[in-house]
Amino acid sequence: MNQFKTVALLGLLSALLITISYYLIGGSTGILVGVAIAAVTNIGSWYYSDKIALAAYRAQPIDPSQAPGLYNMVERLCQRANLPMPALYIVPSAGANAFATGRDPQHAAVAVTEGIVQLLPEDELEGVIAHELSHVRNRDTLTQAVAATIAGAISFLAQMMSYSLWWGGGSRNSDRSANPLGLLLTITLAPLAASVIQMGISRTREFAADAGAAKLTGNPRALASALQRLENTAKQIPMGSNPAFEPLLIVNPFSRQFMSSLFSTHPPTAARIERLLELEGELGGQTPNLLV
């Protein structure tokens, strides 16, 4: 069901991109340009999204000699999940967070902050790592990069449309006249709709990764406890970040209680914890310790 929701939401994003390109340029040419922009941005995100995200957080690569406990934890979880070992990075931040990136499991990277390593006990950190590896296994890192680039292209085209209206332009379709009201609504609503859809994709993938982590470790309660601890810490030690990369993180980098859940990149922590505790019952309370 989560996969179906994700595909449907990505389809809506693509349709928005093509629609706004149609209004900006007009006719079949506008549709073709929209498809071309989607293709170019998706290819770019496929190849470079991991490098951009890691650079944005100033993540530094680490090897087994620098963090043997963390490295062994990730290695054992990868063996259980039948995944290749990702590159490991540490983010020099007191904020407690983590993210995964990369176009596929063979080119994946997992990054954790200094704060999260110091904050969480081993079983909770294991749940967080399992969550990020679930993103890798489900190829959510690519899905989120595609969603972000399409949303960005929509915002760019909407800005171009606003310039067109300002300078007296509009649709260049010779077969019809531009509808100023329709153009204005497109300029205003398309970027907003794109953001809402992108956030909907992120929330859907977070629930799926939580479930994947619970099954991978057999210890849903540890991840539930980690999420609660991370949310509490985010209120005390906000983590500066580029909003474009917020969907990658396991929790919102800072508290946004004043925002509606519609505009949140993550599901409510309480809802995530509730689902994890339900999974604990389904798994029969199994809590294998992979760190022994």
pLDDT above 50: residue 165: yes
Is 108 among the domain residues? yes
Beta strands, E only, 6-102: 60-61, 87-91, 98-101
Is 49 among the domain residues? yes
pLDDT tens digits, residue range 105-115? 999 999 999 99
Is 157 among the domain residues? yes
Which residue has 């310790």 as its token pair?
A: 289
- As a whole number of angstroms, the distance between CA 134 and CA 83 comes to 10
pLDDT band per the 50, 70, 90 thresholds, residue 228: very high
- As a whole number of angstroms, the distance between CA 285 and CA 272 comes to 18
Mean of the per-residue pLDDT values for the chain? 78
Does 206 participate in catalysis according to the annotation?
no
pLDDT above 80: residue 256: no
Which residue has 């300078």 as its token pair?
A: 167
Q: Exactly one of 126, 132, 206, 246 is catalytic; which is it?
A: 132
**Residues paired with residue 280 on neighbouring β-strands, in sequence order:** none
pLDDT tens digits, residue range 57-84? 999 999 999 999 999 999 999 999 999 9
Tell me how crowded residue 286 is: count the other CB atoms within 10 A of its CB: 11
Is 142 among the domain residues? yes
Structure tokens at 251: 């929790």
Is 287 among the domain residues? no
Q: What is the pLDDT of residue 236?
A: 83
Residue-by-residue DSSP string for 236-252 = HS-----GGGGGGBSS-
Is 132 among the domain residues? yes
Q: 34: closest CA among 268, 190, 139?
A: 190
- As a whole number of angstroms, the distance between CA 279 and CA 217 comes to 12
- As a whole number of angstroms, the distance between CA 147 and CA 194 comes to 9
Instruction: Look at 97 and 194; give whichever has higher pLDDT.
Output: 97
What three-state secondary structure class fits 175? coil
Structure tokens at 190: 């398309």
Report the pLDDT averaged over residues 175-181: 51
Q: Is 288 exposed, middle or buried (0-12, 13-18, 19+ CB in 10 A)?
A: exposed
pLDDT tens digits, residue range 1-31? 445 655 565 666 666 666 666 666 666 666 6
Is 76 among the domain residues? yes
| Structural domain of 142 | 2-282
Q: What is the pLDDT of residue 175?
A: 42
Is 175 among the domain residues? yes
Phi/psi of residue 13, each to 5°?
-60, -45
Beta strands, E only, the chain: 60-61, 87-91, 98-101, 109-113
Q: Tell me the whole-structure pTM to 2 decimals.
A: 0.74
Length of the chain: 292
Beta-carbon contacts of 173 under 8 Å, excluding residues fewer than 6 positions away, are: 25, 26, 27, 30
No. of helices (H) and no. of strands (E), the chain: 9, 4
Q: How many domains does the chain have?
A: 1
Instruction: Look at 33 and 258; give whichever has higher pLDDT.
Output: 33
